[in-house]
Every structure is written in structure tokens, then in C-alpha cells.
Structure 1
Amino acid sequence: MDNDLQQRVKIDRPLYEQEQLDKDCQYERPSKKHFDCFNCKPIGILHKTIPVLKWLPKYQWRKDLLGDFIAGFTIAIMNIPQGMAYSLLANVPPITGIYTAVFPVLTYFIFGTSKHNSVGTFAVTCLMTGKTVLEYSDPSYFNPGSTASSGEGYSPLQVATATSLTVAFVMIIMYCLRLGIISTLLSDTLVSGFTTAAAFHVFTSQIKDIFGLVIPKQKGYFTVVKTWVSVFEEIKNVNYVALTISITCIIVLVLYNEGVKPKLAKRCAFPVPIELIIVVLGTVLSYYLKLEEVYKLNVVGSIPSGLPEPSLPPLDLIDDIIIDAIVIAIVSYALSLSLALIFAQKYNYEVDANQELLAQGFSNAVGSFFSCIPATASLTRTMILQAVGSKTQLHSVVSCGFLIVALMWLGPLLETLPISVLASLIVVALKGLFLQLGDFIRIWKLSKLDALVWMITFLSVVFVNMDIGLLVGFLLSLTQIIIMGFKPYTCLLGSVPNTDIYLDSRRYKMAIPLNGIKLFHYSGGLSFALRNTFKLELYRLVGIHPQKELRIRRKIAKMKEEDDISIGNLNISKFNNKIEKLKSKTTMDISCLILDFSAVSYIDSSGVTTLKTIGEDFALIGIPVYVAGCDGPVYEMMQRCRLFNEPKSSIRIFPTVHDAVQSAMAVFNLGDLNSISVISKI
């Protein structure tokens, strides 16, 4: 700090105990506010439930429209190749991904609170949906060489739309129960390990299309291992045309993204749609070179034009897919909310976590009636949105407008597009997820426990299955929270001379222990689960076990009361040595024990009972216990449990540690106390 800013502040006030402070400062416990529907303004409820009604009338058309229009056009172009490619991960027709970029997006525009989230297909959730589709669809849809169903089961699209509807139900129920906080239990470490491992699943699922192989789709556990075994068994039957197309597309995309794109970004207002260009070129070359007929290349096939007719998903599937839907709902919500919060913080606006549940729930519900798979926010598209100047969710309307026009006539033109082109787009798009492997090294340096959660989650997802891996990671994260909760921070405090500051004496050399006073600092909750930990840490750091202390003192007193005959039979020096040895095991230099509760976040009745016991035990050896710095809820719990009215207890309560120290110094003549004047440097 500069010398001209250094100054000294003098604080002059009475010494307070908590009860006197409550009287002087007019303490009053706040009453609980209950939600009263009759006192709520209908317009406020409407604006909260349908946010578009609040912000759209205030939209600054001249200032923001151009940015939203460019952003919407850019995202529409990106959604065509991405939607078709990610549909392959969900095991549904390619056109489904474009539908998912329209109907859920328009619904989110009405109910969402994020200005930047680009809702639609996303690799991880599409892959999770694809697992469910593969599990419950008619197997004949996935048998090599078969194009028709046996008529005995559900089609992939039926399973996908049923999954989307079930995900919507889960999210709406979570919204009604205000369970948006569940997403906070998915730590950044867990999400990083899960999504990185999911990238290996995505990559593995595209290997057969990259090499042009015909292998059966694997389901159940260990799908990655089974798929790679099948790939190595069939590698001799590789389609070299498909492999050549894949390698060419990957090389072009990588060279563009790593070399050309950064330079163009400095000159162009919006990115060049390289993915769409590759899709168009691949379609044209495939059509004129007749790659399907001549080289047996797998192509997209029939794509309907126009918009899908609304239809009800099969409701009898809900019971079977509910567990998968819960997992998809939690993952998609956590990913979307984390993105929304990042950009809300960056651009200084609010995102309602529970309203996001309602928005995504309604989006998936509407989408399920229009042949859509579960939708969530995409990291890449959201980053592009803010990069090209998107201001509000109005970009969604622009994007959907362009896509609806494209759906009316574009579909049949893409029927000859090679599947290997879409597979190449997916593989290149995984770069960001694969780079998250570097997170493990960073996390390892910061916390070995976090790194363990990351690695076990990653390995479980890769080698077992995505839902099992997520469950394992979730349980590990909860275990980590519990373990850390059972390791509260404790220390003895020392006084910084001429200030009212008290610091950890192990960490600060200037923090001097006070003569005759022990200051014990406890950080964390004091509940039934931690009461023994609190007591043991207190006894360990203070160096006193009251019961043992009392027994030793009584033994010494009893020995001193022995008659002269008993002493005469002993050697006097040995007797005195025995007394001194017993005295060395006692703590005679402590006059007062102060418990710093300024960092105690919670206390229950068991914790208060423990405090009563400690106060009574220390009172038996003549050491009073002062409690200092309690927050309001902690203090109120102590009052309700009548902690300060116990006749056997010596506990007194003070608003600050300094008040407790000054009172102890006055009571036990440990120093001069004329006032509570304090001089501190700031």
C-alpha cells in the first residue's frame, strides 16, 4: 500500500456481551416469509414464467437486430451439418437433427432466460439418447442390410421421441419441486471426466463409418471394447473410398480450423461455413460419381421435405426408459445451465436456474411431438453466437426461419451425401472434448482427491457404460463432499499486537498466544456427526482433557491430605517428586477458554448438547468457556436449546473474539483494561 494511503483508525465502544448487544442494537429474530399467491401480482408471475413477455417489448431494434440476425443466420448454417451428423449418434434419421434445431429452439425462445444459449443437438446427449434407442428399438432396424422393421417393435424415431417426452416430464417435475440445485452436485471435475470419456464413445461409434465397415451395433456394457474388437475383426473389409473421403474431410477441416480460420476471423464478421461447404461438395461428388452404386458407399438415403406432422410418442415406453431419461435430463440441464451462467456473468444479466428447467422441459415436450430428440445447449454453437455479436434469444427466431425454409426444399438434395462425411465432421468436432484430457494434470496438481474422482469417472464411462460411469462419479463426488465435511479446519489463535485481529498462530509469526487464555477456532458445521470431532480437536489443540485433568487434580489433593503417618513411611523426596510428576500432567496456566465460532455455519441440538457438556466439564476444573462470534442462526439455536441458562455451565457468549478476550483479561487480571479502544493499520 502506498504511504499516502496509510492511516490509523481508532475504534471506541463499550465492551459487549451478546445479551447486552442484543438490547442496545434492538435484536429481533426475522419472521419466516411464506409464499402467498394472493399477494402476488399476476403480471409478475406471467413475466417470470414467460420471460419473453418481459424483454421483447423492451427490445432495442436498431441497436441489437443486426447482431441477432447475423448470429441467427450463422447458427442456421451450422445446424444443418451438425444436426445431420449428431442424429447419427442418436441412431435416428439425419433430418431429425434439423427438426431439433427448430421446434425446441422456438419454445426455448419463449420460456428461456439465457440470451446466448444455442439449443439443439449436442454430441454427449445425442450419444446417450442413441444408447436408449438401440436398447428399445426393433433390432431389425440395425441389422446390416436390413431397411424394414419386422413390425414387432418400436422404430428408432419412436423411442427417441418417447425419450424426449420423458426427459421433459423429468425436468418439469424438477421445476415444480425446485430441484435446480441438483445440477450443482455435478462438479466441474465430474463433468470434465464424464464428457472427456463420452468423446471416446462418440469417436468409437464413428469408426465404422470412417472405414466404411459393416459391423453390428453394440449395446449393454463394455460397448467401446466390443466395438473395437469388431473393427479389428472386419478391418480387412475396409471400404477405401469411404476411408479416402473421411481422411480428406478431416485434413481439410483441421487445416482450416487451425490455420485459415484464425486469420479469417480477423477480417470476416462471421465464420465461413466450412462444414456446410464440405457437405455440399460431398453430396455433389457422390451424386455425379455414383459412389453408392459403384463403390457400395453408405449414404444418407431418403430425406423427406417439409415439416413433420405432429404425433404423440408411444407413452407405454416411459416406464422402460425412465432411468435413462433421468440421466439425460440431469446431464443436459447441468451442461446448459453451466453455459448459461458463464455468459450471464460475462454480459451482466441474470439466469433463473429453476426457470431454465421449465424452459428445457417445455422445449423437449414440444419437440417430442415433432420428431425431435432431446435438446440441450451446445458449447461450440454458443461460443459462435457470442463471437458474431448475438444480443438476445431473438437470434433463435432468425435461425429457425432459415431452417424452416431449408426444410421445405433442401432435404431431397442431400440424399446422396456419404455417411463418412458426417462421421468426419463429428470426429473433428470432438477436438475440444479430447483436449480436456489435459484437465487431469491440472486437477492432479490442485487436488489428488479431485483427480481420483476424474480418473475413476473417466475409466468407468469408457470401459463400462455412460450411465454407470456417471453414477460412479456422482457417488464419488458425494463421498468427497462428506469426507471434506468431516475434516473441519481448526487451530489456536494468537493476537496481533495493538490490534483486534486474531490469526492462526501456526501460520502467522506475529500472532502471539495470550497469557492465560486459549483461543480455539472452529470452521464448519457442528452437528451430531461432527460433535466428537469437535471435542477431540478442542482437547488436542488446547492440551486439556477436563475429565483426566479432574482425576489428576483429585489424586494430588488426596495425596496431600494423607496423614503424617502415611507420609512418614515414605521418603519425603520421593513423595514430592511424585506430586510434581502428577502436576506436570495438569494444565495450571489456563484461566479461560474462548471458542471462536465466527466460521461455524450450522449447529444442531446435538452440537449444543456437546457445548453444554464441554462447559460443565471445564467448569469442574475452574476454567470458564466463552463463545464468540456466532452468526444469527447459530446463536438462535443455542438460545432455543437453553445453552446459557445451565447452572452447571460456565459458558458466556460475546459478539466478537476481541470482546471475549478483553472480558477475560479484566476478570482474571491478565492485563490492563481501561476501555476497548483499538488501533489498527489499514
Structure 2
Amino acid sequence: MHIPQGMAYALLAEVPPIVGLYMAFFPTLIYVLFGTSPHISMGTFAVVCLMAGKVVLQHAHHPDLLNVTNATLTTPPPPLGEGEYTPIQVVSVVCLVVGLFQMAMWVLRLGAVSTLLSEPLVSGFTTAASFHVLASQLKDLFGVRIRKLSGNYKVIYTVIEVVKNLPYLNWAAFTISAIACLVIALNNELLKPWVSKRSKIPVPIELIAIVTGTLVSRFWGLKEQFGVALVGHIPTGLPVPSVPPLELMPAVALDAGTITVVSYTISMSMALIFAAKEKYEVDANQELLALGSSNVFASFFGCAPFCASLSRSYIQYQAGSKTPLTTVISALLVLSVLLWLGPFFTLLPRCVLAAIIVVSLKGMFVQVKELGKFWKLSKLDALVWIVTFVITCFVSIDIGLGAGLLASVGSLFCRSQAPYTCLLGRVADTDLYLDCKRYRAAEEIPGIKIFHYCGGLNFASKNLFRATLFRKVGYMKPTAGEERRDEDNNVTKADYEWDPTIHTRVKCVIIDATALSYVDAPGIKTLVAVQRELAASHITVLLAGANGPMLEMIARYNSLEADRLQLDVFPTVHDAVVYHRIMSKKAEVAVTVDA
């Protein structure tokens, strides 16, 4: 699969097909030395190649080399002017910058950066990117020529251009595309499942397709008789290493940063999937070193940034891959093509490669179904998916990824502004305290309000914490008028006023901090303010279940601030309840003695 997919995906990067074979050889040998996953198949990947191709279109200048449809040049192309670069030069400097970014992340121990890309974001992003890939192949599927497009709204403009040129449809190319798509799809849907039950080695349908397409083109003269675009000249041997144009690095740095995050996240996701199945560990930071060193090395041979392939990795795993030796053998087979068999594919119709790309996108297209799952689980996750998909698909890849990141951060902020809070009641004859609204056996203790807060208490949530606590314990009551309540019958929207008679009903407020994950200095200041306001109404405030880091933060705060937090702290809610009862009885006895 390295051969057909490498040649096909190289076209997405706007470079000759031979570059895809280079990517299956040079970087993979370095990855074997440093990588920690023996199961993933490294090389070309549609989304990453498409993102690299966007940079090529922006910075490459040679028209003949950009338009690889006419790759069969009979005369050498004219020399480049000063400040002009070929597509291979541009893609190699992108590969270099991506590698340097990944190695810098390894030095800084930033392996956890992949967690910034949530599952809804990755799903929406890759699904939308698949539409970019499909749009880029329409011209070859229909055998039409369209002008080069760049900038935003590329999918929309590409479809418009293809529709405009449909009167000039090349029926031979369209027929070959339809047959190739049909055969590959039938193999994947019908023959492949049947073969997988009887053999670990799948039918190499993509390789069969390009060999058959090449033979048909050779004996039927598809270019001469029907004007079908061919792959063109494929050089033999290995490329001479050369230094990428370093002066172009600042211009491609922003796009390279996006490619860095996407390629690392996809590769790590695949590595973790197989690590979980085979029960071994994958070092996230070591993977950064492996990817970075591989990309830096490959950049000197005109390669694009490489990444793990979902389809090839699954096939490699199902075939019984156990060690990195599988990757070495695969690279040696690709080397045989580079040294001897490359010219055989010179007459390969480009529409066959386009068909291979389009059919391989099925897995990403069906990810649209995941939107329904996200919608049922969390409306915020579904919103992240929709924002990422719409902007990536209809605007541009890099803007869509940025919008997805902002949407993910926004969803986290929204969740922090809607924490789970409740009043706890005691289950009779036990020391269990549960949500009174959810458990009928839990009954509130007269005179005691136990406030349970789940989340972080920080600068962003301090005001929400204070207002919610006062509403729950009854210190603030809704004024007469329209109220809105949630499924737990809690008031969610109303105008509130202070209740000066609260001390007649509530004697103690216990803050259950067992689910309070984090507190910062503004959060502690809020606790100080809450305690003072309740103490002014003769209400005792106790803290229960605070974890070690929270207690340490309180101690540090008290050592630095004159306005100290002075709360009695108890390991459990029950201990706080018992303590309050004991102190209340002592106070009653003292009052009786005085009387």
C-alpha cells in the first residue's frame, strides 16, 4: 500500500508522485531507531499532505513544476529567478521546520500537547479535511483542467470551477475513474471481509489498480488517443541530498506549526490504540524525538512531513506485525521500486490515483455519524465538532483548526461556569451524605446546610461559587415573580434578595470540598468573604474533605496575607456534623449554667 498511496498522496502535496515513495523510505528508517510503537505504519497521510500542499501553492513559483499534470516535460524547465522556489524545495523546508518544532517540543517535554486536540475536534477536523481532499481530486476524476486555486473557500471555488468545466469532460478519464472506484470499493466492502477470515494478508487492490492502469495506458495509448493525463516521468535511483532553502523558514513557520500538532496528534493516537491492544507503553516525548529527527533527516531528500496512516497501520497490525522489522522490510521493498521499477509507472493515468484517494476517504467521511453520538453525550462537544467541521470545510484548514481549538477552550470555560452543586442530606443510621434531590433516603439535618461543589474554585468561577452557595443555603432568596428551574427543581434564573432571617433556620454551613479539584488565591479570598458574610449572620462555616494541595494552598495564602482564612477543617462531612452538634450542645449547656 505504500506504493499506490505514496504516489497518490504526493499529488495532494502538489509534488511529483516519486516524493511519496521517498517518504516511505527515508524517514521511516530513522523512525525505526527512535520510535516506540512497532505497529504504526509511517509515511504519507492524506490530511497532512493536503496541508503541506497548501503551503506549496502559496510559495512555489515555477508554473510547470506546480502543474504536475504536465509532468512529462521533454525539455528542462527554465531556471528559477531569485527568490523563487520549486514545489520540492518548499515542501522540504516545511518538512524541516516541522521536524525542528517536534524536536523543540521533545526538549521542552511537551508530549502532552496532543491533549489540546479533543476527540470532537479531531473528528470534525479530519472529516472536513477529507472534503478538501475530495475537492482536490475532482479535476482528475473528471479529466478536466481548472486554474490553480489558493486562499480561503477553496472547496467551494474548486467545485464551481469543476462544474464550469464539465462540458469539457474527458469521458475516457471519467470512465477509468468510475471503474477504479467501483472495483476498489467492492473489494473493500465485499472481498476484503471474506479474505480477512481466511488470510492475514489482504488483497493489494490499490497496487493491482495502478499496475492494471499502467498496462492499459501502455497498450491502448490513453494519452495519445484520448488525452488522459498521466503521472509522467518518474526518476530511478535515490535523490541527491540538498539543504532546503533556509531563508523560507519564517514564511512557512505558522503553517508548519499547525502541521506539527496535527501530524503528532494523529501518530500518537494510532500508537496509543495499538499500545492498549497489545498492553505496552508508548513514550509521548520519545515519539516527538522520533518524528522530529525523521522529518529533519527526510527534509534533505525533498520529502514532505510524514505521519502515521490509519489504513496502512490497521492492515500492518492485522498481518501480524510485532516488531519494527516490518517497517524495515517495507522500506526495502519501496527501495526496489525507487531503484528499478519506477519508470514502469510513467504511463499511469492520474485518474487511477485519484480513485485510490477518493475511495480511501470513506473512513473519514463516515465520521459524520459521530456528530450524533457527541450530540447525545454533550451538546458542547457537538458544538465543537460543528464549528470545527464547518469552518475547516468551507473556509480553510488552518483557520478551521484554530476555530476548533478556541471552541474546545470555550467549552471548557462553559463547563467551569456550570459545575455540579447540591445540598447533601444524611442517610438514616449511616455516615453517608448524598444529594437530597437525587436520593429520597437522604434527609437534610435541621439547622445544617451541607454544600457540595464539584469543580475548581478559581478566578473564573469564584463569583459563581459564592452566588450558588448563598442561593443553596437560603441566604439569598428569589423575589416574587417568574422563576426558571432545572430538572432538579433548582432555581436557575431569577432576581434575588438577601434574607436577613436566615440565622433562625440555619446555624451551620458545611462546605464539602471532596470534589473541589483546585483552588487558587482568588478562590481562597472568596472563601474568606463567604465566611465573614455568614458569620455576620451568626452562622458557623466548616470545611470538610479538602485535599492536600488545597490545604497547602490555604497555608501558603495565610502565611502571605493578613486577611487570613480561618476555618475548622475536617476529613469528612460526618466529622464536621458531629463536631457542630457537640459544640452546639456545649453552647446550650453554657447558656443554661449562666441562666
| Fold in common (TM above 0.5) | yes
Q: 1:390 is paired with a residue of what secondary structure?
A: coil
Of 361, 365, 370 in structure 2, the residue corresponding to residue 439 of structure 1 is: 370
Of 102, 108, 111 in structure 2, the residue corresponding to residue 177 of structure 1 is: 108
1:650-665 to 2 correspondences below 5 Å: 651-665=567-581
For the residues of structure 1 that align with 2:475 and 2:559, how far apart are their CA atoms?
22
State the match for 1:276 in structure 2: 207
| Superposition deviation, residue 150 in structure 1 | 5.6
For the residues of structure 2 that align with 1:329 and 1:118, how far apart are their CA atoms?
18
| Superposition deviation, residue 96 in structure 1 | 0.6
Of 208, 217, 221 in structure 1, the residue corresponding to residue 152 of structure 2 is: 221
Q: Deviations over 1:17-62 (max 9, x none)?
A: xxxxxxxxxxxxxxxxxxxxxxxxxxxxxxxxxxxxxxxxxxxxxx
State the match for 1:628 in structure 2: 544
For the residues of structure 1 that align with 2:290 and 2:172, how far apart are their CA atoms?
44
Matched, 1:86 2:9: yes
Q: 2:513 is paired with a residue of what secondary structure?
A: strand
State the match for 2:184 in structure 1: 253
For the residues of structure 2 that align with 1:109 and 1:302, how far apart are their CA atoms?
31
For the residues of structure 1 that align with 2:447 and 2:182, how far apart are their CA atoms?
75
For the residues of structure 1 that align with 2:194 and 2:7, how far apart are their CA atoms?
28
Q: What residue identity is the alignment partner of 2:50?
A: L
Of 31, 37, 41 in structure 2, the residue corresponding to residue 108 of structure 1 is: 31
| Superposition deviation, residue 182 in structure 1 | 2.0
Q: 1:512 to 1:102 in 2, by over 3 A?
A: same
For the residues of structure 2 that align with 1:178 and 1:584, how far apart are their CA atoms?
55
Q: Deviations over 1:417-443 (max 9, x none)?
A: 100110000010000011011111221
Q: 1:202 to 1:650 in 2, by over 3 A?
A: closer
State the match for 2:350 in structure 1: 419
Q: 1:86 to 1:539 in 2, by over 3 A?
A: same
Q: 1:600 to 1:149 in 2, by over 3 A?
A: farther
1:639-650 to 2 correspondences below 5 Å: 639-642=555-558
State the match for 1:609 in structure 2: 525
For the residues of structure 2 that align with 1:544 and 1:186, how far apart are their CA atoms?
42
Matched, 1:466 2:397: yes
State the match for 1:327 in structure 2: 258
For the residues of structure 1 that align with 2:472 and 2:559, how far apart are their CA atoms?
24
Matched, 1:430 2:353: no
For the residues of structure 1 that align with 2:563 and 2:467, how far apart are their CA atoms?
24
For the residues of structure 2 that align with 1:531 and 1:223, how far apart are their CA atoms?
45
For the residues of structure 2 that align with 1:99 and 1:109, how far apart are their CA atoms?
16
1:160-559 to 2 correspondences below 5 Å: 160-544=91-475
Q: Deviations over 1:611-638 (max 9, x none)?
A: 2222223223322111011111101111
State the match for 1:151 in structure 2: 80
Q: Is the 8 A contact 2:235 2:343 kept in 1?
A: yes
State the match for 1:137 in structure 2: 60
For the residues of structure 2 that align with 1:149 and 1:662, how far apart are their CA atoms?
90
TM-score (ref. length: structure 1): 0.79
For the residues of structure 1 that align with 2:29 and 2:430, how far apart are their CA atoms?
61
Q: Deviations over 1:219-266 (max 9, x none)?
A: 111111111111111111111111111011011111111111111111
For the residues of structure 1 that align with 2:565 and 2:151, how far apart are their CA atoms?
63
Q: What residue identity is the alignment partner of 1:259?
A: L
For the residues of structure 2 that align with 1:334 and 1:349, how far apart are their CA atoms?
19
For the residues of structure 2 that align with 1:95 and 1:645, how far apart are their CA atoms?
67
Q: Is the 8 A contact 2:476 2:499 kept in 1?
A: no
Q: Is the 8 A contact 1:138 1:149 kept in 2?
A: no
Q: What residue identity is the alignment partner of 1:477?
A: S
Q: 1:650 to 1:245 in 2, by over 3 A?
A: closer
Of 499, 502, 505 in structure 2, the residue corresponding to residue 589 of structure 1 is: 505
For the residues of structure 2 that align with 1:87 and 1:265, how far apart are their CA atoms?
29
State the match for 1:5 in structure 2: none
Q: 2:443 is paired with a residue of what secondary structure?
A: coil
Q: What residue identity is the alignment partner of 2:48?
A: T
| Superposition deviation, residue 269 in structure 1 | 2.3
Q: 2:392 is paired with a residue of what secondary structure?
A: helix
Q: 2:518 is paired with a residue of what secondary structure?
A: strand
Q: Is the 8 A contact 1:612 1:649 kept in 2?
A: yes
Q: What residue identity is the alignment partner of 1:498?
A: D
Identity, in percent, stands at 48
For the residues of structure 2 that align with 1:302 and 1:509, how far apart are their CA atoms?
78
The Cα RMSD (Å) is: 2.1
For the residues of structure 2 that align with 1:268 and 1:342, how far apart are their CA atoms?
23
Q: 1:415 is paired with a residue of what secondary structure?
A: helix
TM-score (ref. length: structure 2): 0.90
Q: 1:214 to 1:645 in 2, by over 3 A?
A: closer
Q: Deviations over 1:140-179 (max 9, x none)?
A: 1335768535622211111111110011111111222222
Q: Is the 8 A contact 1:593 1:623 kept in 2?
A: yes
For the residues of structure 1 that align with 2:545 and 2:49, how far apart are their CA atoms?
52
Q: 1:358 to 1:100 in 2, by over 3 A?
A: same
For the residues of structure 1 that align with 2:376 and 2:533, how far apart are their CA atoms?
44
Q: 1:415 to 1:592 in 2, by over 3 A?
A: same
Q: Is the 8 A contact 2:558 2:565 kept in 1?
A: no
Q: What residue identity is the alignment partner of 1:302?
A: H
Q: Deviations over 1:247-299 (max 9, x none)?
A: 11011111111111111111112111111111111111111111112211111
| Superposition deviation, residue 648 in structure 1 | 9.5
Q: Is the 8 A contact 2:62 2:86 kept in 1?
A: no
Q: Is the 8 A contact 2:236 2:340 kept in 1?
A: yes
Structure 1, gaps ≥5 residues long: 1-77, 547-581, 671-682
Q: 1:503 to 1:636 in 2, by over 3 A?
A: same
Q: What residue identity is the alignment partner of 1:660?
A: A
Highest CA radius of gyration, 1 or 2? 1
**Structure with larger RCO (C-alpha < 8 A, sep 6+):** 1
Q: 1:529 to 1:123 in 2, by over 3 A?
A: same
Matched, 1:122 2:45: yes
Of 535, 542, 566 in structure 2, the residue corresponding to residue 619 of structure 1 is: 535
Q: 1:645 to 1:520 in 2, by over 3 A?
A: farther
Q: What residue identity is the alignment partner of 1:245?
A: I
For the residues of structure 2 that align with 1:145 and 1:421, how far apart are their CA atoms?
16
Q: 1:313 is paired with a residue of what secondary structure?
A: coil
| Superposition deviation, residue 650 in structure 1 | 6.5
Structure 2, gaps ≥5 residues long: 478-497, 587-595
Q: What residue identity is the alignment partner of 2:546?
A: C
Q: 1:290 to 1:662 in 2, by over 3 A?
A: same
Q: What residue identity is the alignment partner of 1:121?
A: T
For the residues of structure 2 that align with 1:84 and 1:589, how far apart are their CA atoms?
77
For the residues of structure 1 that align with 2:502 and 2:58, how far apart are their CA atoms?
71
State the match for 2:584 in structure 1: 668
Q: 1:595 is paired with a residue of what secondary structure?
A: strand
Q: What residue identity is the alignment partner of 1:651?
A: L
Q: 1:620 to 1:259 in 2, by over 3 A?
A: same
Q: Which moved more, 1:390-399 or 1:248-257?
A: 390-399
